[in-house]
Amino acid sequence: MQPFAAARILDLTRGVTGPYATKLLASLGANVIKVEQPHSGDPSRAMGPFPNDTPHSEASGLFHYLNAGKRSVTTELNSATGRSLIAALAQWAHIVVEDFPPGHLTTLGLGFDHLAAMNPSVILASITPFGHTGPYSSFAATEGVLEAMGGTMIGNGTSDREPYKYPEHVMEFYAGSAVAVAIAAPLYGVLFTGTHAPVHLDMSVMESYLASADRRAAALLAYQYTGELMMKRRQVGELRVGHGIRRCKDGYISIHAGGPRLPRLLAMLGEESGKQLPTIAEARTEEGRSRIEEVLWQWLGEHTRDEVWEAALRHKVPLAPVRTPMDIAAARRSQDKSVTLELPPFEARPGYWSHARGPRLGEHNRLVYGGLLGITPGEQMLLRRAGVM
């Protein structure tokens, strides 16, 4: 049995962040019913990558990755009949996850008060860029805007040019992983501690970045300690001995062997290169530092990433090859692992994670509406004809 096998989630989210959160729980066994707009479905169905670059609404790699193991039903939220289906599913669910603009669910007659009246133990989890309150709550957002306002973008890159955004979707995925944690904890409460009220969780993606362990939270406290702005871009050419990214024979490596770790770097370089290196005391001088870097650059230039990593393993030097997604895909193939579905963010005992494809649009209409809600085939026909499903 998987951990969340008893959990029931009604998922009204679209795109990347919300679907990634519920995908993590679906892969851990949760029953997730995903509600999509008839005909068009989740916008991620139109986003690549597609196999062989051939777009098809049932073939989006992104959609399948984000919706693996969920059940898809279609419902028109702009019709009263469609909304009644959502209301019925909200009574089945332990938790309803949504990412509409603040207030939208209330105007549909499906706000927290409505849901709580129907399901007195419901958890409503709302995901919005800036939260449901405050002056920014009505702001328009994209991933880049959120990264600028809540992330560490001001510190990305070098001081000679403008800061840069992280690769596409990465911070949306990160926010999704934060939301998964924020959903998992109350699910544990509903399922096993038994004591809870109906709860509305108002989550802000911007705040999930501000609170994060990527140094932003630390910078916010450091600013109050010192009055200094320190989350800024580094100078071009800035070099700390034994620390940073360096070129080697077939690519790059990342090394973190300055300061207290310098003795290990000196031991490794001495043994591997056979060259005379400065002592720890000499390493504090400008001359000593240049000498270490000189030997390091030369040694790296003669060795591949793998050779360098092997040496680092022997000498316990913090170091890693800079791999590309192509390298990772190749490594996974060589281990007979799927590149497309099996990327669990942690490891546990066998059977803990499940791997599946995403659902076809409305694939589970009959199962959910017929089996779960008891809507007769005749009534389903009516819904189809009215464009509700």
Partner 1 sequence: MPPATFALPLRNVRVVELTTVWAGPFTSSLLADWGAEVIRVESTRNLLGGRGPVLAPNAAMVNSLRAGGEFYFAYPNWEAGERPWNRCVVFQVHGKDKRSVTLELTEPEGMSAFEDLLLTCDMLVVNLAPDSLDALGLTYERLRRVKPDLIMVRIAAFGHTGKAKQARGLGAEAEAHAGFTALRGHSEVDLLFKDNVAFADAAGSMSAALGAISALVQRAQDGKGQLIDISLSDAVVSLLAPALLDAAMNNRAQTPLGNAHSAMAPHGCYPCKGDDRWLFIAVRNDGDWRNLCEAIGHPAWTRAQALQSAFGRLRNRQTIDEHLADWTRSHDAHALMSLLQGCGVPAGVLMNERDVVESPHIAERGFFLPLRHRETGSHLYPGTFWKSTPPVTRIVRAPCELGEDNDWVYKNLLGALESTYAGLLRRKLVGTTPQS
Residues in region 311-350 near partner 1 by CB under 8 A: 312-314, 316-329, 339-340, 343-349
Longest dimension (CA), the chain: 86
Does position 100 interact with partner 1 (CB under 8 A)? The reply is no
At 260 the three-state DSSP class reads helix
| Residue 277: CB minimum distance to partner 1, A | 20
Q: Which two tokens stand for residue 339?
A: 């590149």
CB of 195 to partner 1, least distance (A): 6
103 vs 377 by CB, closer to partner 1: 103
Nearest distance in Å: CB 157, partner 1: 6
**Nearest-approach distance from CB 79 to partner 1, in angstroms:** 25
What residues have CB less than 8 Å from 212, skipping those under 6 apart? Answer: 174, 178
Options 78-86, 280-288, 306-314, 373-381: segment touching partner 1 (CB under 8 A) = 306-314
Pairing of strands 251-256, 319-321: antiparallel
Which segments of 216-336 does DSSP mark as H helices, in order? 216-226, 262-273, 286-301, 305-315, 325-334
Q: How far is the CB of 169 from partner 1 (least distance, A)?
A: 5
State the Cα–Cα distance between residues 233 and 235, nearest whole angstrom: 7
Shortest Å, Cβ 71 to partner 1: 20
Using the contact rule CB under 8 A, the part of the chain among 32-40, 88-96, 141-149, 361-369 near partner 1 is 141-149
Question: At closest approach, how far in Å is the CB of 106 from partner 1?
Answer: 13
* Lookup result for tokens 């959910």: 368
Could you say whether residue 173 binds partner 1 (CB under 8 A)?
yes
Q: Is the dihedral of CA 102, 108, 111, 115 positive or negative?
A: negative
Q: Please, which residue, 135 or 374, has the CB nearer to partner 1?
A: 135
Our CB check for partner 1 shows the closer of 209 and 369 to be: 209
CA distance linking residue 11 with residue 125, whole number of Å: 10
Q: By CB under 8 A, tell whether 299 contacts partner 1.
A: no
**Residues 177-216: x where in contact with partner 1 by CB under 8 A, - otherwise, as a string:** xx-xxx-xxxxxxxxxx-xxxxxxxxxxx-xx-xxxxxxx
- In total, the chain counts a number of residues equal to 389
d(CA 380, CA 369): 8
Among residue numbers 218 through 277, which ones bind partner 1 (CB under 8 A)?
218-226, 228-232, 234, 236, 238, 240, 243-247, 252-256, 259
Q: Does 145 bind partner 1 (CB under 8 A)?
A: yes
> Which amino acid does the sequence have at 115?
L
**For residues 189 and 270, which CB has a smaller minimum distance to partner 1 in the complex?**
189
Written as one string, the DSSP assignment of 4-24 is TTT-EEEE---SSHHHHHHHH
